[in-house]
Amino acid sequence: MGNKHYQWGLYLVLGTTLAFAAFLVGSDTQAPFTTQAQLHRTVARIAPEVSGNVLAVAVKNGQHVKRGDALLSLDDSDYQLALEQAKADLAQAHQNHEAREQELNVAKATLVQKQQTAANAKLKLTRNSKLVSQGLITQEALDDSQNAATVADAAVTAAEAEIARLKVQLSDRDGDAAVELAEAKLAQARLDLARTRMVAPVDGIVTNLQLQSGSYLNAGSPALFLVSDGNSWISADFNEKGIAHLGTGTPVWVAFDALPGQLFQGQIANREQAVYDASSANGELASVTNDNRWIREQQKIRTRIEVPGLDPALISGARASIMVYRPNTLWGSVSKLWMQVIAQLRYLY
């Protein structure tokens, strides 16, 4: 009787082993399963756009913040001075602009004077041309009149050029280039001053906060990170044998290591269409790897999976096991049962 029990026990173990092996082999092509899955949440990298010493930190690590909430402030003394300097430069530019307008008015008056002088010089030249033919004046007097008319014309040309130069400087709608440059510097100074107060660009949870008052931050250096609790997805790597069941919209079962006993339903949002090939990088020669193994490792396919209503307590990077669900089929029932077992096993490991 003892031998019978031993024999049936052995059959049970062998049968279970064979059934489990068949399940593992068949699942790759009928209901793909993977433990290589990881949760991702959108992470905002918060870095100052200006440099300075940290004046105050308004949040704590792990704190939930809303968009627009204060995060930290930098010492703004230098930026206040820069703003005042920019205001003074703009006032100086406006004064220079007004001075150029006055110069333009003077140049216009000068042009009228030079034009009158040129006209008188031309009249005198005309009279002297008649008088020299009558022998009433010398040729030298006529030459002097000719030179005076030429000089007067040149003076008119110079006055016109001066007016053109001033008009070019004052041709912009809002003033000359110096005024526009000063206004741009003032706007930049105001923007830099505003950037010494950092606020949350999105809703999220503060993480990796290691700052304290007095720390110096360079522009562009990460100060903290905000983990969004509204945008999340799972990246899962399946064996390529199951590609036929990895299409967009395919339902899946999800069991998180962090939430033992709980099973979630999701679906495949999309599938990556390429993987990195280390042996043939772009623009480089292929690097051929010799391998004498008879059975090679299977290629993985990266998929993105969406699971609605995830627990906010799940961190970005949480591990998960995933299996494709095929409703109204034998494999659909098997996959659900298997994933329930996996979810319960998470209590143990």
Please check whether residue 93 lies inside any domain of the structure. yes
pLDDT digits (tens, 9 = 90+) for 129-187: 777 777 677 777 767 778 877 887 887 788 788 778 777 766 654 456 777 888 899 99
| Window from 149-163, 245-259, 281-295 with minimum mean pLDDT | 281-295
Mean pLDDT of the chain, nearest integer: 83
Residue 302: which of 42, 23, 31, 38 has the closest Cα? Answer: 38
pTM across the whole model? 0.63
Residue 320: which of 230, 203, 232 has the closest Cα? Answer: 232
84 with 34, same domain?
no
Which one of 168, 193, 218 terminates a domain? 193
Please check whether residue 69 lies inside any domain of the structure. no
Q: Quote the CA–CA distance of 268 and 254 in Å, as a whole number.
A: 11
Given a contact cutoff of 8 angstroms between Cβ atoms, the answer to whether 175 and 58 are in contact is: no
| Window from 234-243, 261-270, 271-280 with minimum mean pLDDT | 271-280
164 with 246, same domain?
no
For residue 266, give its domain range: 29-42+229-286+298-348
261 with 343, same domain?
yes
pLDDT digits (tens, 9 = 90+) for 2-59: 567 677 777 777 877 777 677 777 777 888 999 999 999 888 888 999 999 999 999 9
Q: Quote the CA–CA distance of 230 and 180 in Å, as a whole number.
A: 43
Which one of 171, 193, 215 terminates a domain? 193
Please check whether residue 114 lies inside any domain of the structure. yes
136 with 184, same domain?
yes
Count of domains forming the chain: 2
Taking CA atoms, 57 is separated from 53, 166, 213, in Å, by: 11, 53, 7
Q: What are phi and psi of 192, to 5 degrees?
A: -60, -40
The CATH number of whichever domain residue 273 belongs to comes to 2.40.30.170
Please check whether residue 327 lies inside any domain of the structure. yes
Q: How confident is the model at residue 234 (pLDDT cuts 50, 70, 90)?
A: very high
Which one of 165, 193, 221 terminates a domain? 193
259 with 327, same domain?
yes
169 with 86, same domain?
yes
327 with 244, same domain?
yes
